[in-house]
Amino acid sequence: MNVSVKDLKGAAQGEVEVGFELIEDEVKGQQAVHDAVVAHMAAVRTGTACAKTRGEVAATKKKPWRQKGTGRARAGSTVSPIWVGGGVVHGPRPRDFSKKINKSTKKLALRKALSERLKMEDVIVIDDMKLESPKTKEFVGALEALDINDQTVLVVAETERNLALAVRNIPYVGLTTGDELDTYNTLKFDKLLISKGALETVGKRLSK
């Protein structure tokens, strides 16, 4: 499949080959996409919630009061779970939420996601994404020239300093490289603005 190429001013610069075989089957790859997105969202969970058990609460081991004669209920410890400030029974503990999926599933998921975005014409290929200065205003002008008003992810071959500085102030724009592009970011944003070099990198990843 060939896609048209533009520059940052919106002018046509010919066409380029995608570099990988698109998935035409509507069903093929759907489960892989689901697995990849679930794995990504699980991996970003911190898993640091933690509650102290009665053995971890800092307190004296002295019996609060004598066993008999006070009229109160028997109590042997101030860290009992039924006491305020006591330990927690079956509370949250630090854990790893990450899920593992194999490389072939990741590749299939990304190929499926990109195939669908290309079919919907949500992928815009740019000849070169280098900016003359690290000014956000310059990059916003490029987005206006390309008629992009939606949430956009930039996919470049290598992170360029001026571009990284210009993009970081825009909350609806993300930045990644062709080596790091994944299924989640492919589907999260409304538009994909990808450079020719990054498209070649992605094509090599998916055509192996």
For 86-121, how does the pLDDT look when each residue is reduced to its tens digit (9 = 90+)?
999 999 999 999 999 999 999 999 999 999 999 999
Per-residue pLDDT at 208 exceeds 80: no
Task: Please report the domains of the chain, with CATH numbers, ordered by start residue.
Answer: 2-44+103-207 (3.40.1370.10), 46-96 (no CATH)
Give which of 35, 193, 14 is closest to 102, Cα–Cα.
Answer: 35
Q: Convert the pLDDT of each residue in 10-28 to its tens digit.
A: 888 889 999 899 999 989 9
What is this structure's pTM?
0.84
Q: What are the CB-based long-range contacts (under 8 Å, 24+) for 46-50? A: 47/94, 47/95, 47/96, 47/97, 48/94, 49/92, 49/93, 49/94, 50/91, 50/92, 50/93, 50/94
- What secondary structure letter does DSSP report for 106? H
